[in-house]
Amino acid sequence: MKIVVCMKQVPDTTEVKLDPVTNNLIRDGIPAIINPDDKCGIEAALQIKEQLPGTTVTVVTMGIPSAEIALREALAMGCDEAVLLTDRKLAGADTLATSSAVAGAVKKLGADLVVCGRQAIDGDTAQVGVQIAVHLGYPVTSYVEKLVDVSEESITVRRQYEDRYQTVRMHLPAVITAIGDLNKPRYMSVGGCFDAYKKEIRVMTFSDISDVVEESNIGLKGSPTFVVASTTKEAKGAGEVLKDLTADEAAAAIADRLAALHII
């Protein structure tokens, strides 16, 4: 089986600030990390590799050359190959343009299973993985929180909803998007770190995917999304502490507050 994991290098959002003039993220000096959901996707792929002999795991990211650091971390975790999709023509892409380009890279690489994180912490749209599936014409199951069974022909997963779970079996090729509850990603091994820096990272540009992706569908020109404004997340207030209430009084007080806010 050939597995392709789509990964994104993101700024550590605990350090993110906004430019008060442009409302853009200030990325200078902010440490970059592998997107957490994507890291769970890498771990899932590596677990499948351990179950099915002959399986290879390729990790792909679209970004600037410095994203090589994140790719080498994935190699150190145990991935077999890393691909960096980078080109000025890809700059300014929204989720649709990003998924078009990444799907093009996946088409060129070939994949039985494509694994993506549910969403990136710097955007939280949860759109790219599903859009990649649409571009590829593959079936997709999102919000995967458990791998139930995997074979050379199919994959069975458990999908998480807000109030229930759903078990889904898909014939391969297919796409899944992983959530943080799926697993606990492994650490890089010492030997893996040495091996990661011996491996060559394959670089792909638009010219490598131009036969499967229209130039009008990538980068800024292929991005229909327009950001009007962005703001920092407001800090939560301290709230109101109600003391010395019985259980019935506390329940009534909470119900009154929810009613006042038109929640119930």
State percent of the chain over pLDDT 90: 71
CATH superfamily, domain at 2-217: HUPs (3.40.50.620)
Q: Is 90 exceeded by the pLDDT of residue 20?
A: no
Between β-strands 154-160 and 140-150, what pairing exists: parallel, antiparallel or unpaired?
A: antiparallel
Tallying the residues shown for the chain, one arrives at: 264
Q: Note the Cα 227 to chain centre separation in Å.
A: 21
User: Where are the domains positioned within the chain?
Assistant: 2-217
pLDDT value of residue 30: 77
Question: Taking the CA of residue 30 as centre, how many other CA atoms within 13 Å lie in the half-sphere pointing to its CB?
Answer: 17
* Phi, psi dihedrals of residue 109, rounded to the nearest 5°: -80, -35
The number of CA neighbours under 13 Å toward the Cβ of 46 is 22
How far is CA 29 from its chain centroid?
23
pLDDT at 231 over 70: no
70-110 pLDDT per residue, tens: 999 999 999 999 999 999 999 989 999 999 999 999 999 99
Q: Please write the tens of the pLDDT for every residue from 115-159.
A: 999 998 887 789 999 999 999 999 999 999 999 999 999 999 999
Instruction: For residue 167, give both structure tokens.
Output: 């078990």
pLDDT of residue 151: 96
Read off the pLDDT band of 211 (50, 70, 90).
very high
Are the CB atoms for 263 and 254 separated by under 8 Å?
Answer: no
Instruction: Give the pLDDT of residue 233.
Output: 63
